[in-house]
């Protein structure tokens, strides 16, 4: 497949003036729902990948191969530009290069590489910590060196604000910018004061995750240089709750015909692209009828 057009659309978001909320997607159907509803891009998070593929918590248990395969399934299902959370790049800077190669081939539009030390180290007590600034810069440079399509966006992500403070977050952001990343992802920005301090020092497009209540207004975010602001991953949680309640009702004896909140046949035909398959059947098999 050709991924150029969707990567160009993602780059246009970074180069624009508005802030976009991505749809949190996790499989082909969720990506099609987002596309049909008019979302500008999708976000495939590492935590949601762990749940979708492994049914496991976000403890860096998923492998690059598993993550890239699911990202490819999402990309193949439609034309939604996909931003993915590539965590720490699944290892050191050389692993980051392999991560970029695999995810670029999967069709994504952009990826984040973070400076959190992952997976959790023995004896660490569960506390998050950062890799050194030099190692972080090395990972960003490796990611840029590995990409073949210059339209693929490489986004440097730091958790420094919550772990080591604003000054370190700014130092890391500036260093990653100097390394050549296309945008900077700051995790844990809670207030306008924090964001304005970042915006005053950073010249690249800003991506936010875990933003506080003060940062709910998209017009304000756009004026501060924020181009993408994550809202969380409620769609997967809602889907899990719906499946749980449906199975619970069936187990309790509710007749299938009396179940609530079941997708209509029309919606399922839309999401499965039934009309396309019928047309292809007519063209290539002589009949689209089942």
**Residue 144: predicted pLDDT:** 98
Alpha-carbon span 158 to 241, nearest angstrom: 32
Output the pLDDT for position 289. 55
Distance, in Å, from the CA atom of 5 to the CA atom of 216, rounded to the nearest integer, reads 30
The verdict on 263 and 245 lying in the same domain is: yes
Instruction: Assess whether 195 and 267 both reside in one domain.
Output: no
Question: Both 111 and 73 in a single domain?
Answer: yes
Are residue 114 and residue 216 in the same domain, yes or no? Answer: yes
Q: How confident is the model at residue 288, as a pLDDT?
A: 47
Q: How many domains does the chain have?
A: 2
Which residue segment(s) compose the domain that 53 sits in? 4-233
Residues 54 and 112 occupy one common structural domain: yes
What are the pLDDT tens digits along the chain (290 aa)?
A: 789 999 999 999 999 999 999 999 999 999 999 999 999 999 999 999 999 999 999 999 999 999 999 999 999 999 999 999 999 999 999 999 999 999 999 999 999 999 999 998 888 788 899 999 999 999 999 999 999 999 999 999 999 999 999 999 999 999 999 999 999 999 999 999 999 999 999 999 999 998 999 999 999 999 999 999 999 999 999 999 999 999 999 999 999 999 999 999 999 999 999 999 999 999 999 864 55
- Residue 110 · residue 152 · CB < 8 Å: yes
| Tally of residues, the chain | 290
The closest alpha carbon to 211, from 196, 227, 232, 183, belongs to 232
Supply the pTM of this predicted model.
0.96
Residue 289 lies in a domain: no
Residue-level pLDDT at 2: 84
119-123: list long-range contacts, CB under 8 Å, 24+ apart: 119/59, 119/60, 119/61, 120/59, 120/60
Instruction: Output the pLDDT for position 287.
Output: 65
CATH number at residue 203: 3.20.20.60
């Amino acid at each position: 497949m050709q991924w150029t057009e969707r990567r160009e659309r993602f780059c246009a978001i970074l180069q624009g003036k508005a802030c976009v909320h991505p749809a949190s997607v996790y499989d082909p159907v969720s990506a099609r729902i987002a596309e049909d509803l008019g979302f500008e891009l999708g976000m495939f998070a590492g935590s949601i990948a762990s749940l979708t593929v492994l049914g496991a918590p976000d403890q860096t248990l998923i492998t690059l191969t598993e993550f890239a395969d699911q990202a490819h399934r999402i990309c193949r299902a439609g034309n939604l530009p996909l931003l993915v959370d590539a965590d720490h790049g699944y290892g050191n800077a050389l692993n980051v290069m392999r991560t970029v190669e695999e995810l670029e081939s999967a069709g994504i539009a952009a990826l984040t590489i973070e400076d959190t030390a992952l997976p959790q180290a023995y004896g660490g007590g569960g506390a998050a910590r950062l890799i050194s600034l030099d190692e972080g810069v090395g990972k960003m440079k490796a990611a840029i060196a590995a990409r073949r399509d210059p339209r693929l966006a490489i986004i440097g992500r730091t958790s420094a604000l919550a772990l080591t403070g604003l000054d370190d977050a700014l130092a890391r952001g500036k260093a990653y910018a100097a390394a050549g990343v296309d945008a900077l992802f700051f995790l844990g920005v809670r207030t306008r004061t924090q964001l304005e301090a970042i915006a005053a020092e950073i010249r690249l497009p800003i991506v936010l995750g875990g933003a506080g209540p003060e940062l709910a207004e998209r017009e304000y975010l756009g004026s501060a240089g924020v181009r993408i602001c994550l809202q969380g991953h409620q769609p997967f949680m809602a889907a899990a709750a719906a499946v749980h309640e449906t199975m619970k009702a069936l187990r309790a004896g509710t007749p299938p015909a009396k179940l609530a909140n079941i997708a209509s046949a029309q919606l399922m035909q839309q999401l499965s692209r039934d009309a396309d398959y019928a047309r292809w059947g007519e063209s290539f098999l002589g009949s689209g009828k089942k």
